Amino acid sequence: MRQLLREPLLHFFVLGALLFALYTWLHGGIGSAPDEIVVTRGQQQSLALQFQRTRLRTPSPQELRALIDSWVREEILYREGLAMRLERDDPIVRRRVVQKFEFIADGATPEAPTAAELQAWLDAHPDKYAIEARFTLQQIYFDPALRGDELEADVAAARRTLDSGKTVVGDSTMLPATVSDAATSDVRRVFGDSFVDALQALPVGSWQGPVESGFGLHLVRLADRTPARRATLEEARMAVERDLLHARTADASEAHYERLRQRYSVRIEPADLTAAAR
């Protein structure tokens, strides 16, 4: 008897029976006929919880019964649709099932990366996390539409006036006359690419120009320029960790698909694509 109790196969059958009994108890019984619909306690609780989240109160017995009736109706129509194989060749249903499967497959949270792994990722993608150059400047705007053929001569005269220490008033514009410690992307968004490209080469401390933008010409006095640099791990940790975890999840998802793909034999029939295009 003792030898029988120590038998691993007996332990396996006992454990299986216990799990079967637990599943049966939780799901209100199994083994029902194919045309039987069992509304389990768990399903009723789920319906009541959805109602409570929407209405901010628990459903009355009549309301719960209506929810159950609606669920049963949906289940019957769903089963009948499956019996008629209506889900086949339906791109919306197909896409939804794929999305749900991918959601389940991607549900596992990757292990938190170590500091060394984060640093290695940062070192491999330095440009993505680079700290932008920053600018502090003044600008005087000259409108090409307003000045016409005199534009370049007016800008040159204004530059000489500034060099002599006097003040120049440019044309009216919505562009800011001063920019204080602004990132490259912010300056680019306001003035455009050509303006930012010119700023990289301007000397600091004196009026320069003309500098061209998408709006016209500018005289620019660059007061300060902080060059771009690589970010430290402390500065970019949140973004680096987010991107590394995302990459790991994508890699795991692809590896999972490749394992599934090996279970299938795919046969692609020859097709006349020119006929389909007509």
Of 196, 226, 256, which marks where a domain is finished? 226
User: What pLDDT was estimated at residue 6?
Assistant: 54
User: What pLDDT was estimated at residue 195?
Assistant: 96
Q: For residue 183, give its domain range.
A: 132-226
User: What pLDDT was estimated at residue 156?
Assistant: 95
Evaluate whether residue 65 is within a structural domain.
Answer: yes
Evaluate whether residue 269 is within a structural domain.
Answer: no
Rounded Cα–Cα distance for residues 138 and 176 (Å): 8
User: What pLDDT was estimated at residue 268?
Assistant: 66
Evaluate whether residue 148 is within a structural domain.
Answer: yes
User: What pLDDT was estimated at residue 13?
Assistant: 46
| CATH code at position 190 | 3.10.50.40
Element (H, E) at 45: helix 41-55
Q: Are residues 67 and 11 in the same domain?
A: yes
The parts of the chain modelled with pLDDT lower than 50 are: 1, 4-5, 9-15, 17-32, 276-277
Among residues 245, 255, 266, 214, which one has the least CA distance to residue 105? 255
Residues 6+ positions from 174 with CB-CB distance below 8 Å: none
Q: Are residues 59 and 138 in the same domain?
A: no
Evaluate whether residue 249 is within a structural domain.
Answer: no
Among residues 111, 110, 114, 112, which one has the least CA distance to residue 233? 114
Evaluate whether residue 44 is within a structural domain.
Answer: yes
pLDDT in tens, 21-54: 444 444 444 444 567 888 898 888 999 999 999 9
Rounded Cα–Cα distance for residues 144 and 212 (Å): 11
- Angle between the N-to-C axes of helices 233-261 and 115-124, in degrees from 0 to 180, rounded to the nearest 10: 90
Q: Are residues 212 and 156 in the same domain?
A: yes
User: What pLDDT was estimated at residue 104?
Assistant: 72
Length of the chain counted residue by residue: 278
Q: Are residues 84 and 157 in the same domain?
A: no
Q: Are residues 214 and 158 in the same domain?
A: yes
Of 56, 74, 89, which marks where a domain is finished? 89
Tokens 């534009």, residue?
A: 151
Evaluate whether residue 123 is within a structural domain.
Answer: no
Q: Are residues 82 and 138 in the same domain?
A: no
Of 89, 113, 145, which marks where a domain is finished? 89
Rounded Cα–Cα distance for residues 59 and 63 (Å): 5
Element (H, E) at 232: none
Q: Are residues 138 and 195 in the same domain?
A: yes
Evaluate whether residue 137 is within a structural domain.
Answer: yes
User: What pLDDT was estimated at residue 99?
Assistant: 79
How many independent structural domains does the chain possess? 2
What are the φ/ψ torsions at residue 8 (nearest 5 degrees)? -60, -35
- Which amino acid, 4? L
- Which amino acid, 266? V
- Tell me how far apart the terminal alpha carbons of the chain are, to the nearest angstrom: 79
User: What pLDDT was estimated at residue 105?
Assistant: 67
Rounded Cα–Cα distance for residues 24 and 40 (Å): 11
Evaluate whether residue 125 is within a structural domain.
Answer: no
Dihedral in degrees, nearest 10, Cα atoms 134, 136, 138, 142: 0
CB 171 within 8 A of CB 188: no
